[in-house]
Each structure stands twice: as structure tokens, then as C-alpha cells.
Amino acid sequence: MRKPNIIIGKKQILLASLTLILGIAVYMNYVFSKVENEIAADVQADSTQVNYGDAAFVNASGEESAQAASVDTSDYFAQARLSRMTTRDDAAQTLSAILGGGDLSEEENAVYTIEAVNLSKLSESENKIESLIKAQGFADCVVYLDGETASIVVKSEGLEAEQAAQIKDILLTEVTIPAENIRIFEVK
């Protein structure tokens, strides 16, 4: 009986390194978002806290304050889209580096090609769902899909049950996700 010959090539080392880096990036994103959520909860709990260095209007009327709040939420949506785009671009670059390596077997090449196509489809579905939700009269929204779960952040002044059902219906016409894995969040 022959012993299996295990040869580790440059491509396998590169693949393992990229996978490790991607895993670390996902973990760091999780840790930082958790810390950010805790900070936001602390700030909301102690609303009398003064943030030195923040810009504030002196003698601001109610209309100017509303405009300032509007800028904050639009910044949130712009930042969320930028973050999502950066994450997807990094994943696409990793997949393209893996596929461009040449040391992959046909099976591995097929798996990574399918993963790249699925990533592209998810991105396209997110954009389409966002457009359809905005067409229903919502000011802004961001959709996050990963194939098994969906998170939708909608700008609204009091999301009603029928509006949530409408958003869920739009989502389910585009992707197949179990209802218990759909989360809808409201940002005012």
C-alpha cells in the first residue's frame, strides 16, 4: 500500500493565506460592529452626555435641526453601501486571485467559479430589492443578503406592519429565504 504523497505548492499556501485573511477580516468586522453597537447603546442610555468636538448649531431652529438629523441618516445609508461594496470587492478580488492561480483542480475551479457567480447574483439582487423598496415610497434603504439570511435597513418614521409585509414581499419575489431569517430594521 502506498502512502499518500502530500505536496503543498505555492498556490495552496496562497489559498490558505487568503482564506485566513478573509476569516480574520470577518471576525474583526464582527468585533468592531459589536463594540460600535455597545457604544451606541451607551450613548442612547445617557442622552445628557456631551460630546466635545461635535458640531452644533447655536440658535438653530427646528427646521435646521431636522436637516441635521436628515444628514446623519443619509450618511448612515451612504456609509453602509460603501462598506458593503468594499466587502464585496475584497471577496471578489480574493476569488479572482484564487481562480487566476492555475494550480486548482477542475473541481476546485468549478466551486470557486460558482461562488463568484453567486456573489455577483447576491449583489445584483440587493440593488434590485433596494430600488423596488424605494419605488414603494421609502426614502432610503440598504439590503444585506448572504444566501441564507436577509437584513433590510429602511429609513422610515414609524414602520407599520403592512409596510414590513410589503418589504418582505418584495424581498421574497427576488430571493428565496426562509421567513424566520428575514430581519427588517428601521432608521429614523
The domain that holds 165 is classified in CATH as 1.10.287.4300
Q: Give the pLDDT score at 7.
A: 67
Q: Which of 149, 158, 150 is nearest to 186 (CA)?
A: 158
Tell me if 34 is assigned to some domain: no
Residue 2 domain-assigned (yes or no)? no
Paired sense of beta strands 182-187 and 150-155, if any = parallel
Whole domain around residue 107: which residue ranges?
10-29+63-187
- Between these two residues, 103 and 87, which has the higher pLDDT value? 87
Region of poorest pLDDT, from 36-40, 67-71, 143-147: 67-71
